[in-house]
Amino acid sequence: MTVTDDVKPSTDTASAAAASVSESNTSTSIVSAKEGSCTPQVAGTGESGPSQPDKSQHIGERLVGMSSENAPDLALFRNQVVNTLREWYVLASDSIASLLEGRSLQNPAKDLWLLGKHYELGEQVDEQAWEGAGYSAEVLGDFSRLIWCTYRSQYPPIAPSAFTTDAGWGCMLRAGQTLLAQALQLHHFGRDWSFSWDGALDEDVRRRELYTDIVKQFFDDYSSSSTFSIHRMASLGKQFEGKDIGEWFGPYGTAAIIRELARQAAHELSVYTTTDGVVYLADICEHDFKPTLILVASMLGIDRVNPVYYPFIQASLTLPQSAGVAGGRPSSALYFAGFQGDELLYLDPHFTRPAVARRPEDRYSQSDLASYSCNVPRRIALNRLDPCMVFGYYCGTLESLIDLRSRIELLADDGMRTIMSFDNGHAPTATLSAPGTPRSQGGGGSLLKKLPPSCSDSEESAGPRSGSGEVVLEGECSEEEWVTEL
């Protein structure tokens, strides 16, 4: 499958023109970008009257006409401006940080990990990874298959508010959606997959339909197929946390909302959340085992990530069960999918795109869904991360769950500071973490009320390590099935 990004930080994007229009009495100021240039050009204006007729003035007149005749076109143009400016800002800030920290003088690491898959890079690894330079077609193809959830606009209002965009407040919800989307792809496709969008083979048709069904779960409306839409997530936050729609959500609340939506929809994928780092295996197997996404919300420092956790963050992304990490830099949520040296590869939700229009009979083309993919890997240093994170692990089988426990405990045995542990029993009644209808909820109590509204309200905790050498789970499963030597 070949997917393309509709916004690239290149001169082609710059030629789309970064413009803003402001009115003051009778003067108009227009900012646009020359084609092929990254330097905005400002057209001068007179203080007592309009500027001299020029190309910029004609552009301004066209924009005024668009505002009255075609508001969606103006909104799209505005989004392109904001997206382009953000591209420049991210590039500039990352380059300056790299220079000040001395990383620009170092040779980039030749090993890259992406959701449990290892790549050995060639000798020529360009620092300008924002352009995709230095990465092989295999790496870029794998990265482009990640589902990318970003800000959207022009969607139906999120009741009871009048919000038709989540730009400025929905970045952590979008990062959570992106993590969940990768888990759903692991669930349906496994780790290595591809398909031809226009292929006529049965397998291509099947995968295309499954891919479309996954993406539709994140469409921006109240449709029954939009299980994890921004509308449902924001509305649930209002219902359970008392947050007004338009307020920023933290990682803890986002993880809890995903779990609650999955429970309400009786989703094929169970979602298990923990905020103290302990995964209670008996709760996951309270009934027959279902494919489960484990979300571990944790605070790994105060204002920055404590360096003792750097190795675990990297090791986590090498695990075959990894669905990525929802975190970010301070006040700016990101989704982390892999790492190269001491830098994490990420997807940035802070790009606003129009909501995808519903198609008759759900027939979507590749171009319809192209904005849900990105072929531009970016990197951020570990020391620039915000300490609040949600780690995601997809366990499709019981064996995969046992293997995850084995790998985490092996890391701890090697002296690594881990952020999670496993317990054979059920969670205490005060802990709300089990999938399905949790015993601790009393048949429908509020999960979200017990969670801190933001990461800063919780204490750092790595959780106690289990010293057991066996996995012995209690519950309805047979002893023969659940006792496994590690």
pTM over 0.85: no
Buried/exposed 80-112: b ≥16 CB within 10 Å, e otherwise: bbbbbebbbebbeebeebbeeeebeeeebeeeb
**3-class SS at 449?**
helix
Structure tokens at 457: 């309200």
* 160 prior amide bond cis, ω within 30: yes
pLDDT score for 342: 93
- In tens digits, the chain (486 residues) has pLDDT values of 444 444 333 333 333 333 333 333 333 332 333 333 333 333 333 333 334 444 444 444 444 444 445 555 665 556 556 556 655 555 556 555 555 554 444 556 789 999 999 999 875 554 444 445 578 899 999 999 999 999 999 999 998 899 999 999 999 999 999 999 999 999 999 999 988 898 889 999 999 999 999 999 999 999 999 999 999 999 998 776 668 899 988 899 999 999 999 999 999 999 999 989 999 999 998 888 999 999 999 999 998 999 999 999 999 999 999 999 999 998 899 999 999 999 999 999 999 999 999 998 889 999 999 999 999 899 999 999 999 999 999 999 999 999 999 999 999 999 999 999 999 999 986 444 444 444 333 232 333 333 333 453 333 333 333 333 333 333 344 433 433 333
Q: Do 77 and 63 meet the contact criterion of CB atoms below 8 Å apart?
A: yes
Q: Please, which residues bridge with residue 41 across strands? A: 32
Catalytic residues: 171, 348, 350
pLDDT score for 256: 93
pLDDT score for 471: 38
SS3 letters across 259-279: HHHHHHCCCCCEEEEECCCEE
Measured between alpha carbons, how far is 356 from 149 in angstroms, rounded to an integer?
12
pLDDT score for 79: 58
Q: Do 392 and 26 meet the contact criterion of CB atoms below 8 Å apart?
A: no
> What's the first-to-final CA gap in the chain, in angstroms?
38
Measured between alpha carbons, how far is 80 from 85 in angstroms, rounded to an integer?
9
Measured between alpha carbons, how far is 409 from 238 in angstroms, rounded to an integer?
38
Phi and psi of 485, rounded to 5°?
Answer: -75, 135
- Could you give the C-alpha distances from 293 to 41, 319, 435, in angstroms and in order? 49, 14, 9
pLDDT score for 386: 95
How many alpha carbons lie under 13 Å from residue 238 in its C-beta half-sphere?
14
Measured between alpha carbons, how far is 287 from 114 in angstroms, rounded to an integer?
33
pLDDT score for 240: 65
Q: Do 463 and 297 meet the contact criterion of CB atoms below 8 Å apart?
A: no
